Structure 1
Amino acid sequence: MPRRLHPVELDFAESAPVRLVFTGDVSASPEAVYRALAEDVTDWPAWFDAVSSAVPTRDGAGRDVRLKGGIFFGETVMATDPHERYAYRVDTTNAPGLRALLEEWVVTPTAQGSRVRWTFAVDGPAPVRVLVRLSRAGLGTSFRRAIRRLDRRLARSATS
């Protein structure tokens, strides 16, 4: 049964007790990357392996996301800065122990395309914070794989 988490604000991306930050480069423009992140929500499973479904809710003000393995997130979109930033907080989840979770995706232009920075900001009791820190390598691998797949996907759509 989903539990309600603390309703954090955008500054939680900088102040959370646990912050995992990952970056990756793609050859696509910031506009194309932002569109994939914030506008083509239902396509997330095509490039982010961990996601089994992502559905916009409340006319785009929220998302319902299911991960492989059965974890569910009911989210509120917190920032949609076109071509720059997409952020959302988790309001409800069936993941045990979490108190608060916010994810922020920042896209910046580079000479070769775009740099994507993903911040995974979490609060929970000490065992949850330790577990999230221990998950850094796995989350990093998942992020890098997702960015490579997104890069290939966007390159294909640019040539179509």
Structure 2
Amino acid sequence: MLHDMLALWQKEAAGGIPERNALTARKLQPFMRDIAIYERNGEGLQRRYRVRLMGSGIVQYYGELTGKYFEEAIPEKFQERWYASADLALQTQKPIRLILRADTFEKSHMTAEYLYAPLKADGGLVKFVLVGIAFDGKRSWATVEAEERQKQEQG
């Protein structure tokens, strides 16, 4: 799913970073259950992220966060991870892939693969982040981490 979502982003990014409006509900429909869209307001330490959209597949793990700012909804000890991930996608202006333990909401048995991809607002400012998440509760974090390390060594 994340490979297909990245391919869509890359197709829309042919002329640079796609605008949020270019990724319509129709185009995102196959991924809707497993995506979120964050909007950054402000800069530097004054920045805040609001969850603009959260698919039902994410809601079942994190709860409904649509319309909320990170600091209103995310436990404080995990906020920096959420900010850093979104910031990285906007700063690099490229899609990024992360594999993490999904322990934010006491779900330490879960692992998740994330795709963060920057999007432009109507005025051209890069301030939205499209996030795709694939959860896995069948393999331990140690197994996932070992598999990824092996892939890096081989690749």
* TM-score class, shorter: 0.3 to 0.5
The answer to which structure, 1 or 2, has the higher relative contact order (CA under 8 A, 6+ apart) is 1
Structure with the higher helix share, 1 or 2: 2
Which is richer in strand? 1
> Normalising by the residue count of structure 2, what TM-score does the alignment of the two structures yield?
0.33
TM-score scaled to structure 1, two decimals? 0.32
